[in-house]
């Protein structure tokens, strides 16, 4: 989890939050959401997370979506990472799914 958060912070991700959803979800333990303000910014955040996870031998990384689409998702099994443009994040309001039921960490 720290690798993901530190990687996103290193690329100056906006509105970085993680949600501990272990008490409310049987599918996932943590959800991380952050934003970028442009396509290159999203790509940089995605690449930094990907590089640092591979550096610690976490294999089988599967990203869905592209920076161009405005929403990229990484499913690590027990951790889901959403990297979104601010417009998409505001529209979908994923935080509302967990904010009242999870432990929320703001970075």
* 61 and 76 Cβ atoms separated by less than 8 Å: yes
Q: d(Cα 11, Cα 4) in Å, to the nearest integer?
A: 11
pLDDT of 56-107, one tens digit each?
998 778 899 999 999 999 999 899 999 999 999 999 999 998 888 888 878 8
Report how far apart the first and last C-alpha atoms of the chain are (Å, whole number): 13
- Domain coordinates in residue numbering, the chain: 2-106
Quick check: 21 pLDDT over 90? yes
- CATH architecture for residues 2-106: 2-Layer Sandwich (3.30)
For the question of whether the overall pTM of this predicted structure is more than 0.85, the answer is yes
Instruction: Please report how the helices 2-10 and 39-55 are oriented relative to each other, as an axis angle in degrees rounded to 10.
Output: 140
């Amino acid at each position: 989890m720290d690798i993901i958060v530190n990687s996103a912070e290193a690329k100056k991700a906006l509105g970085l939050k993680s949600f501990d959803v272990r008490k409310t979800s049987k599918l996932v333990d943590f959800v991380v959401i952050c934003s970028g303000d442009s396509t290159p910014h999203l790509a940089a955040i995605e690449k930094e997370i990907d590089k640092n996870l591979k550096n610690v031998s976490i294999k089988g990384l599967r990203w869905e979506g592209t920076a161009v689409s405005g929403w990229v998702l990484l499913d690590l099994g027990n951790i889901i990472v959403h990297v979104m443009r601010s417009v998409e994040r505001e529209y979908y309001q994923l935080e509302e799914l967990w904010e009242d039921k999870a432990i929320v960490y703001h970075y």
